[in-house]
Amino acid sequence: MKLNRELRRDAPIGVFDSGVGGLTVFREIMRQIPNEKIIYFGDTARVPYGSKSQETVIRYSEQIVRFLRTFQVKTIVVACNTASAYALDTLEKDTDIPIIGVVKPGAKAAAEVTRNGRIGVIATEATIGSQIYTEYIRELNRDVTIYGKACPLFVPLVEEGLLQDPVTDEIARRYLAELIDIDIDTLILGCTHYPLIRSTLARIVGDRVTLVNPAYETAKELKEMLQAQGLLNDESPSLGSNQYQFFVSDKAEKFVRFANSIIKYGILSAKAVNMEEY
């Protein structure tokens, strides 16, 4: 990648995900660097990416990058673990603006935090199958063992609103049992929906296990990168300037309902776009 030197610090940041999950990353960016403008894209027509092939996920991600670049974004955050695992390398190669995924920052935090060298990763089937967390963590720290566990029911449970519920508790207990047995001391929430059931997960794994939230770590790394490149916006956007804009590939209404339930920022609206044009 050759960096584009024309980037403006008041340009927006592009953030994308396969659907609503990336809003947990959006929320962290909003909190940690509140002066930035953000264009969020949720690929709600083609969600979930977790069950799709690498080829398909790359093709979709490339379309979305083309769409986000029509807004002259200064950087893009791939706020989706599957797309970060499958498409980040390809996107970085083909793009002249910085691109950040959610996997590396999460992996880095976990490698630093573990004491006993046993790290658990919970995520979708695709993220676990890709072994991407294992790969990144072991680049940083060869003395650790990583245990992956796919948890396909967590996303639908979160989207059904069962954030605090005995059913979610029971499913979480089943999914986490083997990781607890193996005595992990660090657990990566490797899917962007999972921070929304963080308190349930924390209760089940207990105090001895540190939870790593890649959404938080990604926003932190984004801030550091923008600072290092002189791209951090130092002035808050003028009033009425549409600081946050949301786009989806289908069903804006449902997206808005979910977004408003997790982001406390007035009432959000979203526009639908046809991705096959990009």
Interface with a copy of itself includes 269 (CB under 8 A)? no
Q: Quote the least distance from Cβ 239 to a copy of itself, whole Å.
A: 34
3-class SS at 119? strand
- Interface residue with a copy of itself among 9, 10, 46, 113 (CB under 8 A) is 46
191 is known as an active-site residue: yes
Amino acid at 228: A
Task: Report residue 109 as tokens.
Answer: 């935090």
- Interface residue with a copy of itself among 113, 159, 185, 262 (CB under 8 A) is 159
Q: Quote the least distance from Cβ 160 to a copy of itself, whole Å.
A: 6
Interface with a copy of itself includes 62 (CB under 8 A)? no
Contact (CB, 8 A) for 259 and 268: yes
Please measure the distance between the N-terminal and C-terminal CA atoms of the chain and give it in whole angstroms. 22
Using CB under 8 A as the binding criterion, the count of chain residues that bind a copy of itself stands at 23
151 is known as an active-site residue: no
- Interface residue with a copy of itself among 138, 144, 254, 268 (CB under 8 A) is 254
Binding segment for a copy of itself among 27-35, 111-119, 131-139, 155-163 (CB under 8 A)?
155-163
Complex with a copy of itself: residue 113 or 272, whichever CB lies closer: 272
Binding segment for a copy of itself among 38-46, 66-74, 179-187, 208-216 (CB under 8 A)?
38-46
In the region spanning residues 163 to 182, those forming contacts with a copy of itself, defined by CB under 8 A, are 166-167, 170-171
How far is 223 from 231, CA to CA, in rounded Å? 9
Interface with a copy of itself includes 152 (CB under 8 A)? yes
Contacts of 89 (CB under 8 A, 6+ apart): none
Q: Is 241 exposed, middle or buried (0-12, 13-18, 19+ CB in 10 A)?
A: exposed
Nearest CA among 275, 260, 274, 273 for reference residue 26: 260
**Which of 80, 122, 158, 196 is the catalytic position?**
80
List the Cα angle 90/91/96 in 5-degree steps: 125
Interface with a copy of itself includes 199 (CB under 8 A)? no
Contact (CB, 8 A) for 195 and 217: no
How far is 56 from 49, CA to CA, in rounded Å? 9
- Contact residues for a copy of itself, defined by CB under 8 A: 44-47, 51-53, 56, 152-153, 155-157, 159-160, 166-167, 170-171, 250-251, 254, 272
Positions annotated as catalytic residues are 80, 191
